[in-house]
Structure 1
Amino acid sequence: METQAQQTKGDANQNLKLAIAMGILKYKRLQKPNDGDPQPPCNNASESDAIVWKRKAKERKAEILRLKEDLRLAEDGIQYDAFPQSVSCKCYFFDNFGELSPKLSNDGSESNQRRFNDVLRRRFLRQVRLSERKRRRLGGLTDRSCISDYASENELEQLRASVDFLVELCETVSPLRVEEDNFKNWSHLGIDFILDTLKALSSMGMEELAVESIVSSLVTRLMRRMCNAPQDESHHSPNNVQFYVQHLMRKLGSKAYVGQRMILSVSQRISMIAESLLFMDPFDDAFPKMHNCMYIMIQLIEFLVSDNLLTWSKSEAFDLKLLEEWLTSLCHARKALELSESRNTLYILYMDRIFGDLSRQLGQVSFLQKLKPDILAKLFS
């Protein structure tokens, strides 16, 4: 029995030693594989596939991030800009800025229309839509006139949105930042787009009440901005916002439908300010501002008459009744300014220059005899 127990104990020790030896050998092989030992092909293939898929995942992640950045730039409206952000408009649009130019062509000729290509149109529309979405997110409500369900509805919506965009652009710019934020580029595109949309509406039979409401709102808001724009130290500084807004109104007035209504609104405003100046203390702080507003409005009328009256008169859609209306309003404005002549004779000199230009240009048109005799008497007196 004792001998058998000793033999069993010896076998167990042998098995234990053998197991320990095999474990140590296996551990050493795993820790430091010999160069001559064959490598397991399965493990190498798995490791190679893992590296490939990791690289693909990193590339896909980088691509997704790049696409997200492209989307953000596109939504900001700057990915496909035709002009660099720091460069102002150098085209024909700001030629004759602040200068009287009777030969200035503003009739929407084909050469000017070719400049307004499809790329710029899409660029401006994208910017307008972004502005509209931002306004809706902020909870602002836009005025929506009742319009009939015709093909012109889409054009009217585009006209309304572009008018809002242009006015907001003028309201956000300051005298020190006229050259920044693409003000010149966006304002140029805005004016061209508005005139182009009005032309399209005219060709399809525009809805008079809806369009007139939009145009009247545009003229009123721009005129308010022109008169109330902040000024820098120099009145005639090239960065004066008033002159830029005046130039935009001058360009809009190249279309008779807008220009005649613009003269009517501005002349009525002149009459109101002239009456206010009669009862205002010249030493009042608001007096210089009103004087400046008066000057820039009279100058705007002179620009509109000098640039466009002959071109308007050649149009088949020229409104003679509207012509008589704004001529009458202009005569009332002149009479109102005569009452303040003792304070400032420059107003009358400017108005006389306008009436002289009116007489010369209307004398060249064939419908002069169709005007009311009392208007002709005031005009040529």
Structure 2
Amino acid sequence: MKILIVTQYFYPENFKSNDMAFELQKRGHDVTVLTGIPNYPEGEIYDGYGFFKKRHEIINGVKIIRALLLPRGKGGGIRLFLNYFSWAFFASLKARKLSASQKFDAVIVHEPSPITQFYPALTVKKHQKTPVYFWVMDLWPESLEIAGGVKNKMILNFFTKMVQHFYRESEKILITSKGFRKSILEKGDFNNKIEYFPNWAEDTISSGDLNYPIPEIPEGFKVMFAGNIGEAQDMENIMNAALKLKEKENIKFILVGDGRKMPFVQDFIKEHNLQETVYTLGRFPVEAMASFFNQADLLLVSLKDDPIFNLTVPAKVQAYMSSGKPIMAMLNGEGSENIKEAECGFTVPAGDSEKLAYEIETASQKSKEELDKMGMNGKTFYEKNFRMEECISNLEKIISKK
């Protein structure tokens, strides 16, 4: 098939759109990606890229077309708005030119926020009647209201109508969490369009290089958090749990990643003298994760106690499972249920730092054999439910049925 993937984020940014494009191309499909100039998450354009540099590339056989955008900068509300809509506008212009020169069999929209990424796909559909498959990874306008702090009813109603329009224009709506179904059905009768299409872990995590060079990790019982350190991840309660365990000097919190809440984390560490038990290592490429996870005793995942997050399964749940390490989860909903079903770790309610501290201390006292068994339970569950090969095979079946 001749497939167009529409997404604001693509390689060298680290998103599932990379795996999807490269794997589909590898399987013999002709894949084009319409994307933006890489600037996530730091908000600055990556070295080697620019408004007049590397706007067209071919990587692993995939044709990449980069539309202009205003970089997200430090991520303030106005700057994010301009980032989202500038890309949607310029990518729609690119989509119109593409529609005139190429005929696509399917358009796949990869949508972590923002929802506006659908616009260029809609342009192609209007010109070619090409079916659009909408991979929803973030619910709008709920995400805008809860994570973005937008309370203005006029703005929320505007985005609700936008979302409803996009759902109506979709051939299928692919959801990463079964909990998304409720939100989507509240916006219209889209039941026959919904298909479950979960996240997977990168091969570099599930079978990566355990000897990839990483900084020295301190000795002790290592509780590792890897990924975005942002508002949604409830760093306040992770830090509160670390404070409660301050006297348990054998327990070390290792934070691998960066994000908007990193300044808060670093200030908290200084204010409460946690330098001996909490370590911030910064951001590393996905290729380094297997090496990091191999050093961990427990992998930590968390989300705030908000209705939208209770419907979400963080992608790191699958990544953690694939590593064969036990998981400590401070979240509600489907992600927590997956961990319980797999018997691969410990779960506490979202926002409960006291229980988190208690369960981490409990885990630190378990034998290596007990922890290893949990880890292998998770890996087995991952292999059965979340391997990329099976997910992409399912995607091929979905987009081949019109």
Q: Same fold (TM over 0.5)?
A: no
* Structure with the greater alpha carbon radius of gyration: 1
Higher strand share: 2
Which structure exhibits the higher relative contact order, with contacts defined as CA atoms closer than 8 Å and separated by 6 or more residues? 1
What TM-score comes out, normalization by structure 1 length? 0.25
